[in-house]
Structures are given as structure tokens and as C-alpha cells.
Amino acid sequence: MYADDGAPCPMCSAFLDSFDGAVPHIARQADIAIVAKTGASRIRAWADNRGWRNLPLYSSEGSDFNTDYHAESDSHGQLPMVNVFRRDGEAIRHVVASEMFFAPSEPDQNPRHVDMLWPLWNTLDLTPGGRGDWYPATRY
């Protein structure tokens, strides 16, 4: 959720902008947690800045969560990752991760690990110009 320079990630912010509105619908069927490796007050401040009202936000600061679930690079930078867990009796099982992030991209393509969840890219992929070389920003 934060880039290596400590600034909020524009891609993560754009993804969570679109996801915030879907959370009340999804929450009727599944629990959701958005995890970032920074302090809770910093996460909350960015959420307030973006107008997020529905995202359940958690801090993994001081834990191994990001490393354990492939959401941290070798240089300790944050990586976007979607993980799905399922309760099986008393056990919690890790059942899905967005592995495509680790696969090589096709020539002239970006990694597409969370795109199936992201209305922005799905919509742009339907247009004649496609995604082009445009990327989201934190301010317009």
C-alpha cells in the first residue's frame, strides 16, 4: 500500500478506491481484510484522505505477515498480493494467492495478478486503446 519511498502507492490506492464500494456487498458472503505494513494511524489517515469508509484496514507492522505471504520484496518493499484463507473447523487454511505477480509478464504487458478484481483495468481493457501506458495517480 506504500511505495519504497514511503509515499502511498497510486496503484494500490486506485484499486482500494474501487474496492471500497464493493465491500458491503462482499461482506454478506465473506470476511475481508486489507493489510499494510505501516502503522494503523498512517493507514487510517490515508483512508480518510481517500474517503474510504468500508475497507477493514489492518497494520502488519512488527509482524512477519508480509514476508510469510509474499507481500514483501527481498529489499523489504511492499508488494501487492491477494490472499484467500478459509476456516476449516478450528484450522485456518491458505487457499489462494495472486501468484501471477511472480510469473514473467508477456512482452509489453504489465503483471496482471489482481486485475480480475479491479474494475479500472477490466473497463480499460474493453476500450479500443486498452490500458496504454497510463497509470493511476493519487491526485488528479
Q: Which residues share a beta bridge with 97?
A: 83
> At residue 51, does pLDDT exceed 90?
yes
Residue 101's pLDDT band, with cuts at 50, 70 and 90, is low
- Coil vs helix vs strand at 43: helix
The pLDDT tens digits for 16-38 are 999 999 999 999 999 999 999 88
Q: What is the DSSP string of 74-115?
A: TTS-B----EEEEEETTEEEEEEE-GGGGSPPPTT----SSG
Residue 4's pLDDT band, with cuts at 50, 70 and 90, is low
What pLDDT sits at residue 43? 94
Share of the chain above pLDDT 90, in %: 41
Distances (CA, A) of 97 to 62, 87, 88: 22, 16, 18
Q: Kindly report which listed range (31-40, 46-55, 56-65, 127-136) carries the lowest average pLDDT score.
A: 127-136
Residue located via cell numbers 490515508:
46
φ, ψ (nearest 5 deg) of residue 132: 60, -150
- Angstrom distance (rounded) from CA 62 to CA 47: 21
> At residue 89, does pLDDT exceed 90?
yes
- Angstrom distance (rounded) from CA 101 to CA 2: 17
